[in-house]
């Protein structure tokens, strides 16, 4: 399999709604395997197809919780139902989130604590996952990518301003910027 370049904020594919997957075939399976390799090399806990330049409603996730349970899968044409998000100020430690398309940056963002993911897997089988905590956050983050929304778009001040400064400082926000996990070094 291959590690794919990850698009950086500003690339149009990241800011538009992705298209439904019409067919699960060998080409889609190869894309999923490449996305898994890319996510692992980055490293990340989730990766949406638009992040690698493919405008399809598809994401992969791979995260081990604090109890050691592995949560791993492929979500094709997902639907996501979420509980109402909490009201208040995000905690800089507990609510800090990052994104491979805004590499090396982290900002706090309140997310819903519970999410129900309905999707189809790579075998074409429908499934549901009721997620809480960090897994619910992962699902919301990746699902947002499929609608052309990056987590920085959801930030409130002062974090929204800080994210915009980081994007300008790194000369992102323009089409055609990407980085290659395993080859390009990014500061944390």
Report, as residue numbers or ranges, the catalytic residues.
142
**Is 113 assigned to a binding site?**
no
**Is 33 assigned to a binding site?**
no
**Is 145 assigned to a binding site?**
yes
E strand or H helix at 107, and its extent?
A: strand 102-108
Backbone angles phi, psi at 121, to 5 degrees: -90, -175
Is residue 129 within 8 Å of residue 73, measured between CB atoms? yes
Backbone angles phi, psi at 164, to 5 degrees: -65, -40
Kindly list the strands in the beta sheet with 58-64, ordered across the sheet, starting from the edge strand earlier in the chain: 46-48, 58-64, 70-82, 114-120, 126-132
Binding site for Fe cation, by residue number, is 99, 141, 145
Binding site, by residue number, is 99, 141, 145
């Amino acid at each position: 399999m291959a590690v794919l370049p990850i698009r950086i904020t500003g690339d149009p594919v990241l800011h538009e709604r992705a298209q439904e997957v019409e067919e699960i075939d060998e080409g889609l399976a190869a894309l999923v395997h490449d996305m898994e390799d890319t996510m692992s090399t980055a490293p990340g806990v989730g990766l949406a197809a638009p992040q690698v330049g493919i405008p399809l409603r598809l994401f992969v996730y791979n995260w081990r919780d604090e109890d050691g349970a592995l949560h791993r899968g492929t979500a094709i044409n997902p639907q996501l139902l979420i509980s109402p998000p909490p009201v208040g100020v995000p905690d800089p430690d507990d609510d800090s989130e990052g994104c491979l398309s805004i590499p090396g940056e982290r900002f706090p963002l309140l997310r819903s604590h519970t999410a129900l993911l309905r999707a189809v897997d790579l075998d074409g089988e429908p499934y549901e996952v009721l997620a809480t905590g960090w897994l619910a956050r992962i699902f919301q983050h990746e699902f947002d990518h499929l609608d052309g929304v990056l987590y920085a778009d959801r930030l409130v001040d002062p974090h929204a301003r800080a994210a915009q400064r980081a994007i300008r400082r790194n000369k992102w926000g323009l089409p055609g910027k990407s980085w290659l996990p395993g080859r390009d070094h990014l500061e944390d």
